[in-house]
Amino acid sequence: MATRLPPVIAIDGPSASGKGTVAQGVARALGFHFLNSGALYRAVALAALTAALDLENESILSDIALKLNAKFDGNSVVLEGHDVTDAVRGEDVSVAASRIAGLPAVRRALLSRQRAFRQPPGLVADGRDMGTVVFPDAVLKIYLTASPETRAERRHKQLMEKGLGANMAALLQDIRERDQRDSARATAPLKKCADAVLIDTTGITADDAIAQVLALYKQAPRAP
């Protein structure tokens, strides 16, 4: 008899749509593991920026991805033994990660690493291609979004709470450019797959979105 794989809830969507907050909330409620796939790309980007490497050199960057000594503990990110949780959230790293994520070799290098997070009793994975590429057999696929203006406001609030200066107009422009870049890339573009449920968080709280996902999971069919 074939071994039944642990269930996966895949939550995809654009930058600052609330995926991480919602995914972590759902994972806590269900006692599932949590995968922040974006943190993997951010870790690769930070390693490349720290070493002053060419962000267009696909071969070098994929080699970094394969050998990446990164660990994830809750919200913490440890790279080469150093806590880089705040560093990987920097705007320069975010922009670099978005560029690197469009490189096919880098995505292939990280694919098995992402799938290794699938452990009992289950996994909640957030990213851009969790339901389309990484876990196409997910029992529930969510596409979480919000208006660009709402997402810029959220990002602005996050930066201000960290004591970092931020310009709303610049953040909004960055989000729009990142949406275009993520949606237009040839490899694993950001898109809502046909069997994903759309949740727009523009006018609702994170708790409301978490409740919606939990209700949908309760109704989702399971493999026998």
Q: Is the pLDDT of residue 63 over 90?
A: yes
Q: Is the pLDDT of residue 1 over 50?
A: no
What is the C-alpha separation between 182 and 184, in angstroms, rounded?
Answer: 6
The single-letter code of the amino acid at 150 is T
Vertex 8 angle, CA 5 and 13, to 5°: 150
Task: Please tell me which residue, 178 or 137, carries the higher pLDDT value.
Answer: 137
Whole-number pLDDT of residue 224: 47
- pTM for the full model? 0.88
- Average pLDDT of span 119-143: 95
pLDDT digits (tens, 9 = 90+) for 163-188: 777 789 999 998 998 888 888 887 77
Whole-number pLDDT of residue 206: 93
Whole-number pLDDT of residue 26: 97
E strand or H helix at 106, and its extent? helix 104-115
| Three-state DSSP state, 181 | helix
Whole-number pLDDT of residue 102: 85
Q: Is the pLDDT of residue 80 over 90?
A: no
Whole-number pLDDT of residue 211: 98
Whole-number pLDDT of residue 123: 96
- Average pLDDT of span 121-148: 95
- Average pLDDT of span 155-162: 83
What is the C-alpha separation between 143 and 11, in angstroms, rounded?
Answer: 6
- Average pLDDT of span 148-153: 93
- Average pLDDT of span 8-34: 94
Residue 213 structure tokens: 């996902």
Whole-number average pLDDT of the chain: 90
Whole-number pLDDT of residue 74: 67
What is the C-alpha separation between 138 and 2, in angstroms, rounded?
Answer: 17
pLDDT digits (tens, 9 = 90+) for 23-61: 999 999 999 999 989 889 999 999 999 999 999 899 999
Neighbours of 150 (CB within 10 A): 18
Q: How confident is the model at residue 202 (pLDDT cuts 50, 70, 90)?
A: very high
Q: Domains in the chain, please, with CATH? A: 8-217 (3.40.50.300)
